[in-house]
């Protein structure tokens, strides 16, 4: 079985070297078997191994191959839901715990980078969420107040300041969060993998899990050339979840996100775009997110097409978004085009829960996977080592398939059209 090649992304072209992760051959026993070598699985492996557990990670390709190594590399704290929304929906106790937990997720990422010396071009310049139209400003200002009440150093910025700090055209205000930042996500995944290996975990690439079988209170995880017998299994496959566990794939909606990277910008233009090192995304339903890399390339991502592709002809809308938001780049050429699957949930919260005794799943980060997946990995590592399920900072509901999941393509196509019209109307276009 050959290892799948990485997409032609900017991150793959500039990433730190990958650690050696050979295929699994033969039989192993472990305390914890982790299926999936993305941020969730690697973080879980690291924390479990540091606690003294014998850990084996099984990855279908190589660490960071999926969304973890392809995303925009923006480190954004918090859930998509505001603190007030969390408290209203889940009660004062759990809602407040969730808000505080979400607030610290970016801290964890940068702490791990420092602790383990991860070379991933990390920068904590902050994050801006631009308001794409006046109708969204009241909700944004309310969210700022809610975070400030919890002691978070966030601020609302007006149109002029949003334009100055982002360099983008069309935003009428913004949410400024200095807790955020950016990194090369593939390098970060590889750094987490190396840290887990150093802590004693074993990581096997090109080793997709093909079957899960219960055996006398343990679970046998089968791969094409080997097996792992473990007391606890963590399923961490996110947007690339397959049919390994019945119904799990149908509990999330995988959406493709496309990104492009320009050639390095000239100094004059570069100084006009995110001049203080912020990462940028916005409040559109069909979100656009952007940043500069250390070489001055503008990276922009958004809603993708029907397939994973590196064909420039598939990226017309993404390129058009670059020209619309950052007209100062002119007719500059692009070096890289790539896409990956983002796992969305109906609740806009990750699905974290026990599927069966000894089987815990964590997936569905709704576009905020760098920080949230890293922190969730730590939490499910604790669960595998005996932490009560109710102590996790997530609502404990059964992970169930989404009704009519098989109709998602035509439904999503219709929703995209509706959301695009709603965004245009709020922009005044």
Residues 97-140 pLDDT 10s: 999 999 999 999 999 999 999 999 999 999 999 999 999 999 99
Residue 149 — pLDDT band, cuts 50, 70, 90? very high
Q: Is the pLDDT of residue 309 over 80?
A: yes
Token pair for 318: 């993404």
Cα gap 372→429, rounded to integer Å:
34
CA quadruple 423, 424, 426, 429: dihedral, nearest 10: 170
Reported confidence tier of residue 401, pLDDT bands at 50, 70, 90? confident
Asked whether residue 167 carries a pLDDT value surpassing 60, the answer given is yes
**Which residues, at least 6 apart from 181, have a Cβ–Cβ distance to it below 8 Å?**
74, 75, 106, 109, 110, 122, 123, 124, 125, 126, 127, 279
| Cα–Cα dist 252/356, whole Å | 19
Query: For position 285, what pLDDT does the model report?
Result: 79
- Cβ neighbours, 10 Å, residue 305: 15
Give 239's Cβ-side CA count (13 Å radius): 26
pLDDT, tens digit, 9 for 90 and up, residues 348-389? 999 999 999 999 999 999 989 999 999 999 999 999 999 998
Mean pLDDT of 411-428: 62
384 within 8 A of 32, measured Cβ to Cβ: yes
Rg of the chain on CA atoms, in Å: 21
Report the percent of the chain where pLDDT is more than 90: 89
Q: What angle do CA 173, 177, 181 make, to 5 degrees?
A: 120
In this prediction the pTM is: 0.96
Question: What is the percent of the chain where pLDDT is above 70?
Answer: 95
Give a three-class secondary structure readout of the chain: CCCCCCCCCHHHHHCCCCCCCCCCCEEEEEEEEEECCCHHHHHHHHHHHHCCCCEEEECCCCCCCCHHHCCCCEECCCCCCCHHHHHHHHCHHHHHHHHHHHHCHHHHHHHHHHHHCCCCCCECCCEEEECCCHHHHHHHHHHHHHHHHCCCCCEEEEHHHHHHHHCCCCCCEEEEECCCEECCHHHHHHHHHHHHHHCCCEEECCCCCCEEEEECCEEEEECCCEEEEEEEEEECCHHHCCCCCCCCHHHCEEEEEEEEEECCCCHHHHCCCCCCCCEEEECCCCCEEEEECCCCCEEEEEECCCCCCCCHHHHHHHHHHHHHHCHHHCCCCEEEEEEEEEEECCCCCCEEEEEECCEEEEECCCCCHHHHHHHHHHHHHHHHCCCCHHHCCCCCCCCCCCCCHHHHHHHHHHHHHHHHHHHHHHHCC
Is 395 buried (19+), middle (13-18) or exposed (0-12) by CB count in 10 A?
Answer: middle
Q: How far apart are CA 288 and CA 300, in angstroms?
A: 7
pLDDT of 403 reads 75
């Amino acid at each position: 079985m050959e290892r799948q090649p990485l997409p032609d992304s900017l991150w793959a072209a500039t990433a730190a070297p990958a650690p050696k992760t050979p295929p699994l051959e033969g039989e192993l026993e472990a305390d914890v078997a982790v299926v999936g070598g993305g941020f969730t699985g690697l973080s879980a492996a690291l924390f479990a191994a540091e606690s003294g557990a014998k850990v084996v990670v099984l990855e279908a390709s190589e660490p960071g191959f999926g969304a973890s190594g392809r995303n925009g590399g923006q480190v954004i704290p918090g859930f998509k839901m505001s603190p007030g929304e969390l408290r209203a929906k889940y009660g004062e106790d759990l809602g407040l715990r969730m808000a505080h937990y979400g607030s610290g997720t970016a801290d964890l990422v940068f702490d791990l980078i420092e602790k383990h010396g991860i070379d991933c071009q990390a920068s904590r310049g902050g994050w801006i969420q631009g308001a794409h139209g006046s109708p969204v400003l009241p909700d944004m200002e309310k969210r700022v107040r809610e975070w400030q009440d919890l002691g978070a150093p966030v601020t609302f910025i007006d149109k002029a300041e949003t334009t100055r700090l982002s360099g983008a055209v069309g935003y009428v205000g913004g949410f400024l969060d200095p807790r955020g930042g950016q990194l090369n996500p593939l390098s970060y995944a590889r750094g987490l993998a190396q840290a887990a290996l150093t802590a004693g975990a074993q990581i096997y690439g090109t080793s997709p899990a093909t079957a899960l079988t219960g055996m006398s209170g343990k679970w046998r995880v089968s791969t094409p050339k080997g097996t792992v017998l473990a007391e606890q299994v963590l399923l961490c496959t996110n947007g690339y979840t397959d049919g390994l566990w019945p119904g799990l794939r149908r509990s999330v909606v995988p959406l493709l996100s496309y990104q492009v990277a320009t050639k390095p910008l000239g100094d004059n233009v570069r100084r006009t775009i995110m001049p203080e090192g912020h990462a940028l995304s916005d409040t559109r339903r069909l979100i656009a997110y952007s940043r500069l890399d250390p070489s001055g390339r503008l990276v922009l991502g958004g809603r993708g097409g029907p397939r994973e592709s590196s064909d420039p002809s598939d990226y017309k809308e993404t390129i058009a978004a670059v020209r619309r938001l950052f007209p100062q780049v002119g007719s500059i050429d692009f070096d890289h085009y790539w896409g990956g699957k983002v796992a969305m949930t109906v609740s806009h919260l990750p699905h974290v829960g026990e599927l069966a005794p000894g089987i815990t799943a964590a997936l569905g980060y709704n576009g905020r996977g760098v920080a949230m997946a890293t922190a969730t990995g730590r939490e499910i590592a604790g669960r595998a080592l005996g932490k009560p399920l109710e102590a996790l900072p997530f609502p404990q509901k059964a992970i169930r398939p989404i009704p009519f999941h098989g109709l998602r393509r035509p439904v999503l196509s219709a929703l995209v059209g509706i959301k695009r019209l709603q965004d245009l109307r709020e922009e005044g276009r």
